[in-house]
Amino acid sequence: MPASAVSAPAPGGRAPVTSPSTVERPHVVDFRVRDNSKDGLFNRLLLWLLTRFRRLWAWIQRHRRLERWVNNGLINLAIRNGPTRPSPNSTNCDITCWAALTDRTYYSRHLPAKKGSVEPPEKQVLELFDRNKTGIRFSDKSTVLFAHFAQWFTDGLLRTDREALAKDPPLLKNTSNHEIDLCNLYGLNRKHTDMLRAWHGGELKSQFLKSGPDGHEEEWPMFHCDRSGKKLPGFEDLPLLIPEQQPLPPDRLERLFAMGTERGNVTPGYAMMNVLFLREHNRVARELQKEYPCWDDSRLFETTRNVLIHLLLKIVVQDYINHIAPYHFKFRLFGGQKIEREWYRTNWVALEFNLLYRWHSLVPDHVYFGDTPMPAPLAFYRNEPLLEGGLRQAFEGASNHRAGHIGLFNTPAHLMRTEAGSLRMARLAQLASFNDYRDEFGFPRMTRFEQLSSDPLVVEGLRTVYGRVDNVELYVGLFAEDSRPDSILAQLMGRMVGVDAFSQALTNPLLAHRVYQVKTFSELGMTIVEQTKSLNDIVQRNIANPPQVSFTHSTWAHSHA
């Protein structure tokens, strides 16, 4: 289905698919009719409490000590809803052994492999994801900016080793540092970081180019290649393309930026996030240099890096997680706490955490630069629209347009190959069933497809492919389940995100009691951290005539004010 064939639906509905011969009606779903008999009494009660009593939750958040106590209690509850690290299971081997407990180049896993499961044909399963059947269904709540940020942020943490996966037999390994460390910007290791540093004033290498409709000079990363497509001196060993990317022509390569990972230029949305954080790094470094003129380049760089990573952690908790959750209570990030919990362990990305984040259905058929649309399939490794329109237009367009709804029958055609790879990866791992994971994460096992979804199309599709609910694979069930009211995620996916995301973020060494102090960030750095509440704050500081940006679409925000 060509992207141009999709017209805009009413908020939350499916877009009609138009072609020269057919016009389909929007597929409208009433999510209130789902059979919730298998949600669990405690789970229903908790959701009811957190999505009611808006004034009570607002009152709690006006009292700092009470807010902190409730904040910590709810986060601890969210993490304890699932198994905590260390896990006895790993993709290293099928038994608990020392290598499985220590070699973090393999994924940990929440449940051991389940052998002997009968799997429906891949083609039949993939039809459950294909957007061509119904047309795009837009999110009521999320903007394209949320989709951009979600891809950019998670790709820095959830990194599959593609070379290992291509071996015979394939290996389920990763190349992650297992930390929220802004490797997208700084690189995965010291060697890559050194290539990106300017080596003066604590800054990263950058250039000023005329861009945007007014032709103003803006700060951008350095280009990775020259006009012939050859890597520029100093960047020879810096990753540039994902392995499966076909060779790009020189005119495309010369507009790609030198960034921390091979995915840095994969889409303009990904690149614009890196550009924003590069500008913020250099802005903070310049402010620190003014405030502390005796500091050398190394101290300026390392302190600035600490500040930027902390800013990302705040955005993840206070912008990103709060957008995902349907609750009136808004989570906050408090650093420097003494945490004595069983989940406070060394970070190790779980395979299930990687797979549940395959939110391909978020991607719309078009990305926007201001009001100018560009078919999403044409945006891969193409920075020209970003450079020509400027960062302001990119953030404005992303914040004003809706992302897709996370769910089945909503993956765009150009990402169906990626969807197939995700399904194969889940099957290679021999993951337990969707119902097995519900049981592990505190939900009763479902017995009817109607308990999974209120969408007749989804129910009939699952029944045709799987026959029984117990046969539904985890990867499919996560996207088949109805999203919670006022949330973008379904129950099990939302719970699994809470378990892993909170426990991965709050164990960051920069938040530790002995580390979270002035000498780590400087007094000015601590002030910058305290004054930053959201991604919008960083946008306001780094773009001329900046737009107001948000992960939440203005229509949804106004209706829930």
Kindly indicate the confidence band of residue 244, based on its pLDDT and cuts at 50, 70 and 90: low
Res 214: pLDDT? 81
3 state SS of 42: helix
Q: Given this model, what pLDDT does residue 38 score?
A: 87
Predicted pLDDT at 24? 30
pLDDT of residue 549: 96
CA 398 to chain CA centroid, nearest Å:
15
Cβ-contact 193, 221 below 8 angstroms = no
Between CA 235 and CA 242, with CA 236 as vertex, the angle to 5 degrees is 90
**Residues 283-309: b if buried by 16+ CB within 10 A, e if exposed:** bbbebbbeeeeebebeebbebbbbbbb
Q: What are 373-404's pLDDT values in tens digits?
A: 889 998 889 999 999 999 999 999 999 999 99
Long-range contacts of the stretch 327-332 (C-beta < 8 A, 24+): 327/50, 327/51, 327/57, 328/50, 328/51, 328/52, 328/53, 328/54, 328/57, 328/58, 329/50, 329/57, 329/60, 329/61, 329/70, 329/71, 329/74, 330/61, 331/71, 331/74, 331/75, 332/67, 332/68, 332/71
452 Cβ partners below 8 Å, 6+ apart?
446, 458, 459, 462, 469, 472, 477, 480, 481, 482
Give the model's pLDDT for residue 8. 34
What's the confidence (pLDDT) of residue 169? 93
User: Could you tell me the pLDDT band of residue 16, with boundaries at 50, 70 and 90?
Assistant: very low
Q: Distance of alpha carbon 454 from its chain centroid, rounded?
A: 26
Strand partners, 207: 220
- Given a cut of 50, whether residue 431 has pLDDT beyond it is yes
**Closest by Cα among 262, 532, 235, 118 to 540:** 532
What number of other Cβ atoms are within 10 A of residue 556's Cβ?
19
Strand bridging mode 402-404 / 366-369: unpaired
Condensed to tens digits (0 to 9), the pLDDT of residues 123-132 reads 999 999 999 9
pLDDT in tens, 197-208: 999 999 999 999
Contact 333, 321 (CB under 8 A): no
Helices (H) and strands (E) in the chain, counts: 24, 6
What does the block give as tokens for 60?
């709690």
User: What are 271-315's pLDDT values in tens digits?
Assistant: 999 999 999 999 999 999 999 999 999 999 999 999 999 999 999
- Output the CA–CA distances (angstroms, integers) from residue 305 to 155, 301, 347, in the order listed: 19, 6, 20
In this predicted structure, the answer to whether residue 256 has a pLDDT above a threshold of 90 is yes
Residue 208 β-bridge partners: 219
Cα 250 to Cα 263: distance, rounded to the nearest angstrom: 18
Mean pLDDT of 170-185: 96
Give the residue from 83, 85, 79 showing the smallest Cα distance to 100: 85
Alpha-carbon distances of 196 from 30, 188, 235, 307, 422, rounded to whole Å: 50, 12, 8, 18, 32
For the chain, what's the residue count? 561
Residue 214 CB partners (closer than 8 Å, separation 6+):
none
pLDDT for 304 equals 98
249 upstream amide cis, omega within 30 of 0: no
Alpha carbon 469 to its chain's center: 28
Q: Does 21 have pLDDT greater than 70?
A: no
User: Residue 14 pLDDT > 70, yes or no?
Assistant: no
247 vs 440: which has the higher pLDDT: 440
In this prediction, residue 163 has a pLDDT band, given cuts at 50, 70 and 90, of very high
- 546 has pLDDT over 70: yes
d(CA 64, CA 155): 34
Look at the block and give the residue holding tokens 């599959």: 160
Distance between CA 349 and CA 353 in Å, rounded? 7
Whether the predicted pLDDT of 338 surpasses 90: no
What is d(CA 547, CA 465) in angstroms, rounded to the nearest whole number?
Answer: 46
Q: Contact, 255 vs 275, CB < 8 A?
A: no
What is the per-residue pLDDT across 92-125, written as a single tens digit (0 to 9) for each?
Answer: 998 999 999 999 999 999 999 998 888 999 999 9
Q: Are 282 and 297 in contact (CB under 8 A)?
A: no
DSSP, res 317:
I
- Tokens 């499961």 sit at which residue? 117
Reported as half-sphere exposure (CB side, CA atoms, 13 A), residue 114 has a value of 17
Reply yes or no on whether the pLDDT at 353 is more than 50: yes
| Per-residue pLDDT tens digits for 480-536 | 999 998 999 999 999 999 999 999 999 999 999 999 999 999 999 999 999 999 999
Contact criterion met (CB below 8 Å) for 431 and 114: yes
Q: What CA–CA distance (Å, rounded) separates 234 from 231?
A: 8
pTM, two decimal places = 0.92
Of 86, 116, 89, give the one whose Cα is nearest residue 100. Answer: 89
Residues with Cβ within 8 Å of 123's Cβ and at least 6 positions away in sequence, in order, are: none
The confidence score (pLDDT) of residue 30 equals 52
Structural domains of the chain sorted by starting position, each given as residue range(s) with its CATH number in brackets: 3-559 (1.10.640.10)
Q: For the chain, give the longest Cα–Cα distance.
A: 72
Over its C-alpha atoms, the chain yields an Rg (Å, rounded) of: 23
Query: What is the reported pLDDT for 33?
Result: 66
- Provide the pLDDT confidence category of residue 245 given band limits of 50, 70 and 90: low
pLDDT for 13 beyond 50: no
Q: What is the pLDDT of residues 27-82, one digit of tens each?
A: 345 545 678 888 999 999 999 999 999 999 999 999 999 999 999 999 999 999 99
